[in-house]
Amino acid sequence: MKDERDRTILPEWLPPGAAIVAGLALISTSVLLAGAARAPSREKAMWTFARPHYLMYEPRVKEWNASGHTPFDLRLLSLPAMERRMMASFLGDVPCADVLEVERRGVSRTFGGPLESVGFVDLTDTLKKEGLLEEINAPSFSPWTTRGRVFGLPHDVHPVMLGYRADLVEAAGIDVSKIETWEDFARVMKPLMADKNGDGEPDRFLLNMWETNQDHLEVLLLQAGGGFFDEHERPILDNPVNVRVLATIATWLAGPARIAADAPNFTAAGNKLKADGYVVASFFPDWMGDIWKHEIPSLGGKMKLMPLPAWDKGGRRTSVWGGTMLGIPKTAVQKPGDFDKLWEFCKALYISDQFMRDLYREGGIVTPVKKYWSDPIFDEPNAYFSGQPAGRLYINQAPNVPMRNSSPYNTFAMYRVVDALVKLTEEARQAKRYDMATLEARARVFLKEAQAQVESAIQRNVFMDQAGGGS
């Protein structure tokens, strides 16, 4: 025993286990101290949440860095990860990235407190001074605007059209130019729902839509002129337009006039159903075409776009789905000159003809900068949409895109309206009552419940007087 002790280099009072722990502690502390002492990076950081955006920006950022500007480090994060880090940064007043590309629902969450607590730099005066408020399509600002102040540079317009299986429609001899309203759509397209294989079920349905899909519901509510909040961010869930839309959708989903079925987006199962022709038409914001091109290439040349059927003759033929902005967190602006450097980068990325082309070529997305809308790139035939000039079709609808709002209770309100639609549809199925009068009466009841829940949530927020609700 004594011989073994003599062989170690450790003193008698230091057991080997303790020596290992102490050694590890020493190494980790040194690494931490060395990291802390390292000079701060000269690079600014930009975070984005979408891989196509990341791939599109990468060469632009490299060019920017090579041209002697303040270098930027572009990073791709998953959407939930980015939104959580952003919220943690804003709520904890700690730095995150210098420039953030954020999705619509993530941004509205940052508007829950008093105006001075919003984590993004207020861009209103800069946008006014540089004429960008006029240059950019007005509805594109609405999701980033709270209490009259704009906190983001818009990336897109995202008008919605109806993408349909031209091969099936044309084979059935249907002329879509005769479709002006949703009623026309159901009537004119009805022959496609024939039960040719004799199993008692229609072979296909006309519209890809289900009561649990909040995006589809929002598209239709906004198109009809309804929605969740008014321009003062007061909840208006039980308004007559929403009542009518919910009751009509219930007839699409259940009963003898059923025309809709569920072929979920972004899933292999849903893509299979679409490729098999289970649904004829789907809602198509401008970004959707690129996704279908990659996920369902077999439908290339079989699809076409048409404006959304209106709710009433002469009504709006489009809606809006999704949205992204570029924002500068307040924590990134520490000293004079910081904002200017970051703003120059934002403009170079979003407000350039190069970006407009990349955005359309690589993502099918139409720029919100109106002066570029006359560019011939938008007239190029799109092979996926059977040679239609998809860009031009979307731009024709862009000025009519409905305004949205940025209430922090948007998501909460949307889920409550979805709850109302689910209850309404299930009740109709159980009671087998599909007449509009009954459905509207029940929709009113369910929407009133939803309205009460949203009001109660807003009332808990003592900052909401300043946030707009009720003021």
Partner 1 sequence: MTPPTSTRGATRIAEAVGDAHVPRRRSRGLAGLIPWLFLSPFLVCFALFTLYPLVQSVVLSMQTTFGPGATRFVGVSNYRGLMQDPLFWTALRNTAVYTLGSLFIQLPLALGLALGLETPNLRGRGWVRLLLFSPSMVGVVFAAMMFSLIFEKQTGLANQGLRSLLSMVGVDWSLDFGWLQQHVMATLIIASLWMYVGFNMTFFSAALQNVRKDLIEASVVDGAGPIRRFWTVTVPAIRPVAGFVVLMSVIGSFQLFELPFIMFNNTAGPDNRAMTIVLYLFQNGFETGDLGYASAIGWALAVILVACAAVQRLTARGEEAAT
What is the contact surface with partner 1 in residues (CB under 8 A)?
A: 80, 84, 87, 90-93, 109-110, 112-114, 116-117, 119, 211-212, 214, 261-262, 264, 267, 269, 272-273, 278, 408-409, 411-412, 415, 418-419, 422-423, 426, 453, 456-457, 460-463
- Using DSSP's 3-state secondary structure scheme, residue 13 falls into coil
Q: Minimum distance from CB of 375 to partner 1 (Å)?
A: 37
Residue 363 or residue 408: which is nearer to partner 1 going by CB? Answer: 408
Q: Which is nearer to partner 1, 188 or 259 (CB)?
A: 259
Q: How far is CA 229 from the centre of its chain?
A: 18
CA distance 355 to 329: 23
Nearest of 194, 211, 200, 215 to residue 251 by alpha carbon: 211
Closer residue to partner 1, CB minimum distance, 92 or 337: 92
Q: How far apart are CA 92 and CA 89, in angstroms?
A: 5
The DSSP secondary structure of 397-440, one letter per residue, reads: HGGGPPP----TTHHHHHHHHHHHHHHHHHHHHHHT---HHHHH
CA distance 343 to 134: 18
How far from 114 is each of 8, 94, 177, 463, CA to CA, in Å?
65, 18, 49, 6
Taking the complex as a whole, the smallest distance from the CB of residue 412 to partner 1 amounts, in Å, to: 6
Whichever of 374 and 456 has its CB closer to partner 1, that residue is: 456
Between 349 and 450, whose beta carbon lies closer to partner 1? 450
What is the Cα–Cα distance from 150 to 3, expressed in whole angstroms? 78
Q: How far is the CB of 408 from partner 1 (least distance, A)?
A: 7
Q: Which is nearer to partner 1, 175 or 199 (CB)?
A: 199
- Residue pair 160/284 in contact (Cβ under 8 Å)? The answer is yes
CB of 261 to partner 1, least distance (A): 8
Tell me how far, at minimum, the Cβ of 392 lies from partner 1, in Å: 34
What is 56-117 written as a DSSP string? HHHHHHHHHHHTTSPPEEEEE--HHHHHHHHHHHHHHT----SEEEEEHHHHHHTTSS-GGG
Q: Which CB, 84 or 232, lies closer to partner 1?
A: 84
- CA–centroid distance for 110 within its chain: 16
Task: Identify which of residues 119 and 226 has a Cβ nearer to partner 1 in the complex.
Answer: 119
Helix (H) or strand (E) holding 146: strand 145-146
Which DSSP string corresponds to 307-372? EPPBSSTT-----B---EEEE-BGGG--STTHHHHHHHHHHHHHSSHHHHHHHHHHH-PPPSBGGG
Percent of the chain as helix, strand, coil, to the nearest 5: 50, 15, 35
Q: What is the smallest separation between the CB atom of 263 and partner 1, expressed in angstroms?
A: 8
At its nearest, how many Å lie between partner 1 and the CB of residue 419? 5
Q: How far is the CB of 269 from partner 1 (least distance, A)?
A: 4
User: Which of 117, 400 has the CB closer to partner 1?
Assistant: 117
Smaller CB distance to partner 1: residue 136 or 263? 263
Q: Which two tokens stand for residue 157?
A: 């317009």
CB of 436 to partner 1, least distance (A): 22
CB of 110 to partner 1, least distance (A): 8
Residue 30 one-letter amino acid = S
